[in-house]
Amino acid sequence: MSIPLGVALGLLLGGVELVLRARLPLAPDLLAVAIGALLLQSQRRPVGGWILGVLLGFSTFSADPTAAVLLGGGIAALLLVPMRDLVFLESAWTQALFGLAAAVALRCARELYAWFDLVPRLPWSEASFTAPLLSALLLPILVRLGGELRRMARRIADRIDAWRARAGRQTS
Amino acid sequence: MADGLREQRPQRWPAVLVLIGVSGMVPVPVLEHAHGLIEAVAWSVRGLVDPVERTALAASEVAAPPDLALALDPRVVSLLETIRRRVLPPPARGWQREGHFGVVLVGAPPVENHRDEARELVVQTAAPVPSGEPAFFGEQLIGFTRVHADGSARIERITRPGGRTTACVGAPGEREARCLALGDGSTDLRVAYADGGVELREGDRAWAVDPPGRSGAAAIRVVGGALLGRLVRGELPTGAARDEWRIVPPVPVESLAEVAIRFPAGFAPPGETDIYPFTVTLAPDPLLDRRRSFCRIDRGREAGVLAGAAISNGGALIGRVERSGYGAALVRTLRDPGFRMRALLLQSGTAVAFDLVARGDRGGFVEIAPPPCPGWEGALVVTAASPDGTPEGLLFGALERHGDRCELLAAASAVGPAAAWRLPGAWGADR
């Protein structure tokens, strides 16, 4: 079930990035942000299916072969999965590093394909540098925001439970 | 407990992802097909769920005029016919027998087989080529086809070392001497065993003679009467007791880009493959990278549009289908950097085949790698026929020189209605 949900998430992220790039001069690499965010999850959660789905969904917004996008995701995961045991995942610097590493891994995979003439070599543009940096900047912010939202949701759920218990006592 | 076990288990999925990614670089048909299938499925899913794309296509459909010229540009067709008329032998000669002649592109053998250059020409077509059939340029006999075990076809030149052609030299109907025209690897033929008692003169005509058939069998005209060239006196050491005569072909074989081959019944000549155009609607670039040039059409596999199919507008090429899913296909346009397609350069009555490689859009022009022949300035470039779904004669545009750069003034614009070219298949021509 995680792969279809991942595909849907990838399509959503691709659409959002398409809109961002059409409206703004600079935009982050949202695929790198998603991979980084998924790899920052606890090891108890199975994220492989999610990442495969996100890569498949997002690849439909890329002119490069799907295999090149999968290779980029694979390189990022190969680097970052063992790193989860070595670094403090709650640190904002670590989170920024995960976002940057994922963006660079995706770029490396594309360059590898270009080296074998499987995709055209493209000139480096401003976006080639700004997108990974923006991804690195965005990932800690999103992780904090997600944590805060989760905490808020838990607090609301607790209040609802307390309200139900009080209402139950009053009716009895 | 289960979570604890999962945490201790080695994570293999990153390596699997890398393996899948690396397999995309391996040129094995099975893997290529599998990756194409994955892309098609993902592309189809996007077409089904993406409301932005559906809106864009609907907007283009409203803007599309009701009728659209699907056919090839008649001026290009006429130009190609004029060029081909020089290549095809006259039908009155009867060499086509029960088959018919088709024009194929030829080129020199690959660089690593340089020694074969004097022996053969490589036939550059994906269509099946019959073996042992004569190849002509107009009335001039060039050689005979030979198909290798790997399916590649060559034309063995009559001038190759060891080549023997039964011939006649002299003035037809007045002075005729039977002889053998022998190849020695040079550009001309040596006259050997000529009949005695017939005077040979410089400039005399040399023509091929069909070898005698079995007694009682019907005489078949294969190459009888085909022009080999004109006689010139060869060089011999001083004091030699005999004359040396050589046959010089009227058109040097090295300069030829196209020849005519006889295709027996059952063989379809290239350029005559049945490819049908039908109307599609183009929508703007649906991809993230603004440096690339892609567009999208509203038909896909369900309509028989597969990867490789050409997309044109009024006889001018827009691009080629890169990915095809259900209900939509992604088209790589001519302006995309790295776009590559087989093309014909039409200049001064000849067609030269080359690989057109686009380097990117330069504000109205498309910069391309210069064609490997001189005098390309101002020449027209059209598509060469391809079995993937490209007809011959779709116009790329005209070439211009800007400093050191070769620029193509593209004829088509990638907006509005267009024609997709598809091969006849399981979907049939009724849809």
pLDDT tens-place string over residues B19-48: 999 999 998 889 999 998 999 898 888 888
Q: Do A44 and B19 touch (CB under 8 A)?
A: no
- Residue B87 in this model has a pLDDT that exceeds 50: yes
Shortest distance, CA B252 to any CA of chain A (angstroms)? 36
- Residue B117 in this model has a pLDDT that exceeds 60: no
Q: What pLDDT score was predicted for residue B185?
A: 83
Phi, psi of B155 (to 5 degrees): -115, 115
> Beta partners for B38?
none
Percent of chain B with pLDDT over 70: 82
Mutate to test the interface with B, among A21, A58, A59, A70 (most CBs of B within 10 A): A70
Q: Which residue of A has its CA nearest to B39?
A: A66
Q: What pLDDT score was predicted for residue A163?
A: 92
Task: Give residue-wise pLDDT tens across range A19-75.
Answer: 888 888 888 889 999 999 999 886 667 788 899 999 999 999 988 999 999 999 999
Question: What span, in angstroms and rounded, lies between the C-alpha atoms of B383 and B344?
Answer: 6
Task: Give residue-wise pLDDT tens across range B126-159.
Answer: 678 888 889 998 889 999 998 888 778 889 899 8
Q: What pLDDT score was predicted for residue B430?
A: 42
- Residue B292 in this model has a pLDDT that exceeds 90: no
Judged by average pLDDT, the poorest of A109-123, A145-159, B54-68, B335-349 is B54-68
- Residue B56 in this model has a pLDDT that exceeds 60: no
Q: Do B46 and A119 touch (CB under 8 A)?
A: no
Q: What pLDDT score was predicted for residue B218?
A: 62
> Which residues in chain B have Cβ-Cβ distances shorter than 8 Å to A71?
17-18, 20-22, 24
Q: Do B289 and A109 touch (CB under 8 A)?
A: no
- Residue B431 in this model has a pLDDT that exceeds 60: no
> Which residues in chain B have Cβ-Cβ distances shorter than 8 Å to A57?
42, 45-46
Number of C-beta neighbours around residue B402 at 10 A: 10
Q: What pLDDT score was predicted for residue B272?
A: 58
Q: Do A44 and B6 touch (CB under 8 A)?
A: yes
* B215: Cβ contacts below 8 Å, ≥ 6 apart: none
Calculate the CA dihedral of residues B43, B47, B49, B52 and round it to 10 degrees.
Answer: 120
Q: Do A77 and B13 touch (CB under 8 A)?
A: yes
Nearest neighbour of B25 by CB, restricted to A21, A113, A120: A113
* A100: Cβ contacts below 8 Å, ≥ 6 apart: A32, A132, A133, A135, A136
Q: Do B287 and A44 touch (CB under 8 A)?
A: no
Question: What span, in angstroms and rounded, lies between the C-alpha atoms of B159 and B229?
Answer: 12
Shortest distance, CA B280 to any CA of chain A (angstroms)? 21
How many CA atoms does the CB half-sphere of B381 hold within 13 Å? 32
Shortest distance, CA B24 to any CA of chain A (angstroms)? 5
Q: Do A66 and B42 touch (CB under 8 A)?
A: yes
Shortest distance, CA B58 to any CA of chain A (angstroms)? 18
Task: Give residue-wise pLDDT tens across range A70-127.
Answer: 999 999 999 998 888 888 888 889 999 999 999 999 999 999 999 998 988 888 888 7
Shortest distance, CA B360 to any CA of chain A (angstroms)? 10
- Residue B389 in this model has a pLDDT that exceeds 90: no
Q: What pLDDT score was predicted for residue B64?
A: 46
Q: Do A17 and B288 touch (CB under 8 A)?
A: yes
Mutate to test the interface with B, among A60, A64, A83, A121 (most CBs of B within 10 A): A60
Q: What pLDDT score was predicted for residue B149?
A: 82
> Which residues in chain B have Cβ-Cβ distances shorter than 8 Å to A77?
11, 13-14, 17
DSSP state of A13: H
Position B415 confidence tier, pLDDT thresholds 50, 70, 90: low
Whole-Å CA distances, B139 to B37, B192, B410: 48, 23, 36
Average pLDDT of the residues of chain B: 80
Question: What span, in angstroms and rounded, lies between the C-alpha atoms of A7 and A146?
Answer: 21
Shortest distance, CA B124 to any CA of chain A (angstroms)? 22
> Beta partners for B207?
B168, B227
Task: Provide the terminal-to-terminal Cα distance of chain B, rounded to the nearest Å.
Answer: 59
- Residue A152 in this model has a pLDDT that exceeds 90: yes
Q: What pLDDT score was predicted for residue B264?
A: 86
Question: What span, in angstroms and rounded, lies between the C-alpha atoms of B139 and B88?
Answer: 8
Q: What pLDDT score was predicted for residue B52?
A: 57
Phi, psi of B33 (to 5 degrees): -65, -40
> Which residues in chain A have Cβ-Cβ distances shorter than 8 Å to B288?
14, 17-18, 21, 61-62
- Residue B60 in this model has a pLDDT that exceeds 60: no
> Which residues in chain B have Cβ-Cβ distances shorter than 8 Å to A36?
none
> Beta partners for B344?
B353, B382
Task: Give residue-wise pLDDT tens across range B326-381.
Answer: 888 899 998 888 898 888 888 777 777 788 888 888 877 888 888 877 778 888 89
- Residue B273 in this model has a pLDDT that exceeds 70: no
Question: What span, in angstroms and rounded, lies between the C-alpha atoms of A118 and B35?
Answer: 14
Calculate the CA dihedral of residues A19, A25, A30, A31 and round it to 10 degrees.
Answer: 100
Residue A164, phi-psi category: left (phi > 0), alpha (psi -120 to 50), beta (remainder): alpha
Position B5 confidence tier, pLDDT thresholds 50, 70, 90: low
With b meaning 16 or more CB within 10 Å and e meaning fewer, what string describes B323-350?
bbbbbbbbbbbbbbbbbbbbbbbbbeeb
Task: Provide the terminal-to-terminal Cα distance of chain A, rounded to the nearest Å.
Answer: 43
Phi, psi of B260 (to 5 degrees): -105, 135
Mean predicted confidence (pLDDT) in B172-197: 87
* B281: Cβ contacts below 8 Å, ≥ 6 apart: B57, B60, B61, B64, B297, B298, B416, B417, B418
Q: Which residue of A has its CA nearest to B339?
A: A120
Percent of chain B with pLDDT over 90: 11
Q: What pLDDT score was predicted for residue A22?
A: 85
